[in-house]
Structures are given as C-alpha cells and as structure tokens.
Amino acid sequence: MTVFLRELKANRKALIIWSVCMILGVMGGMSKYTAYSSGGASSEVINQMPSTMKALLGFGSFDVTQMSGFFAFLFLYLELATAVYAALLGAGIIAKEERDKTTEFLMVKPMSRSSIITSKFLAAVVNTIILDIVTLVSSIGMVAAYNKGKDISGEVALFILSMFIVQLIFLSLGALLAAFMKNSKASGSLAAGLVLIAYFVSMITSLTDKLNFLNILSPFKYFSYSDIVNGYGLSFIIVILSILLVAAFSASTYFFYRRRDLKV
C-alpha cells in the first residue's frame, strides 16, 4: 500500500502533463472535422486520393467525412500517444529505483520484490485509467460539439476501451524490458521505440493485404476499428488473447526482476 501511494505521487506530474496534452490533442484534432465534413472541394480532395495515400494518413477504409469515420482516424493518433505513455510508464516504474539509486533504500525493506512490483503495477494501471478517462470525456465532449449526425458516444467508449487494452500490452512490455535489460535505464527509450515500430508496421500492413501476417507484431492492428465504426463492437477472442499477452509479459517481469542483481 505504501509503495502504491508513493508511486502514484511520483507519477502525478507526468500524468497531469499527459492529460493536458490529450485534451489539447482531442480539441485540436476535432476542430479539423469541419474541414473534412463541410463537403465541397476538401471532401473532393479526400475522395480523389489514391488508397495508399489514405492508408498512410490513417484514413484507410474510414469515411472521414462522417463523424464516426473521422473519430476512428483521429483515434489512431490518440492511441499512439497513450501507448507511448504506457510504455514509458511501464519501463519507468521498474527502472526508476535503479536509475535514482534508491534500491538500497527500498529493496532492504521487509517486503518481497514481487509485492513491490505488484504495488507499482497497480499504481501504473490506475494512472493509465485516469488518462483514459480524461481522453474519453474530452473525446465525447468534443465529438458532441461538432457532431451533426447520430450520437456516437457508445463507439467512442469502445474505442477508448480498446486503447486501454493496447496500453496494458505496452505497459507490461515496458516493465518486462526494464526487468530483463541489464541497463534498465535504456528500457524506456527502447519501449517507446517499439511502440513506434509497431505503429509503422500497422501503417505498412494497411497498404497491402499481402503483409497481414505482420499484424501480429502490432497491437495497433489487434482490434478492428472498422468493426467498431460499423457497430460490431470488440472481438471477445481478441480481448482474451490480448489479456493473455499482458499476463505473459507481466509474469515474465516478475520472473526476471526476482532474479535480478540490483544495481546500486
């Protein structure tokens, strides 16, 4: 409990900065919607675009002149940002004691390493949920402000739920890297780098159907966003598989951290 509270406090500043950034991101992104949806020349430009161009920009198969399609397009960037946050957070909670040289303080307390990691994981999940709630509320608010068609709050909530699961994957991956790497200080940069690589993989596989097997490397492709837009919701099997992946990464984090020679 005491580590959990300490961790929440230590991550508070970063969480506030990220929350403000997400609100600004949602506001900035949604303000472009009028340009896409107003019809006339700009819609024409989008319709005339070659499909590869659309895929690279993240439109893919979405109809960005409709609110649900536009949000799906904006969502990819929100998801990328929050995934970077989650990866950095996951690596940070594990690596920070060695980075700040506080291992000789914390790790000689009458507590097992596993219970310390559990507290840290819980605190990180709470942080992630807070950031997601901020993103959800600002998204629903901004969508409502610009939307002239039917209400899509339900879809937005599903988008954010899928984002949370993707974040958990990167959070546990970041933690695993920090627990496994000898130089855990570098784990944050590596984890963020892997997020970007996963993002580029998802861009590339959007270009052609032939590379779909690569999608397994990119959590950004685990959930079908056109299914959400079309009202089919999240695939239950994918949710289960993602959670199993998170469990595997977390279990490995415990495994490696318990055996680690802590640097001081």
Q: Which two tokens stand for residue 82?
A: 């929050």
Q: Which two tokens stand for residue 76?
A: 């990819």
**247 or 262: CB nearest other proteins:** 262
Q: Which two tokens stand for residue 256?
A: 């490696």
**11 or 242: CB nearest other proteins:** 11
**98 or 132: CB nearest other proteins:** 98
Helices first, then strands: H and E counts in the chain: 11, 0
Report yes or no: 86 and 174 within 8 Å, Cβ to Cβ. Answer: yes
For the bound state, the minimum distance from the C-beta of residue 251 to other proteins, rounded and expressed in Å, comes to 19
What lies within 8 Å, CB to CB, of 249 at 6+ separation is 169, 172, 173, 175, 176
Residues that bind other proteins (CB under 8 A): 2, 6, 10, 100-105, 107-113, 259, 261-262, 264
For the bound state, the minimum distance from the C-beta of residue 121 to other proteins, rounded and expressed in Å, comes to 18
**108 or 237: CB nearest other proteins:** 108
**54 or 260: CB nearest other proteins:** 260
CA distances from 231 to 7, 53, 155, 228 (A): 38, 26, 7, 5
Q: Is 257 left (phi over 0), alpha (psi -120 to 50) or beta?
A: alpha
**Residue labelled with tokens 């600002």:** 138
> SS3 for 49?
coil
For the bound state, the minimum distance from the C-beta of residue 162 to other proteins, rounded and expressed in Å, comes to 35
**4 or 146: CB nearest other proteins:** 4
**2 or 48: CB nearest other proteins:** 2
For the bound state, the minimum distance from the C-beta of residue 107 to other proteins, rounded and expressed in Å, comes to 6
Q: Is 40 left (phi over 0), alpha (psi -120 to 50) or beta?
A: left
For the bound state, the minimum distance from the C-beta of residue 10 to other proteins, rounded and expressed in Å, comes to 7
For the bound state, the minimum distance from the C-beta of residue 102 to other proteins, rounded and expressed in Å, comes to 6
Beta strands in 125-254 (DSSP E): none
Round the CA-based radius of gyration of the chain to a whole number and report it: 20
For the bound state, the minimum distance from the C-beta of residue 161 to other proteins, rounded and expressed in Å, comes to 34
Amino acid at the residue 219: P
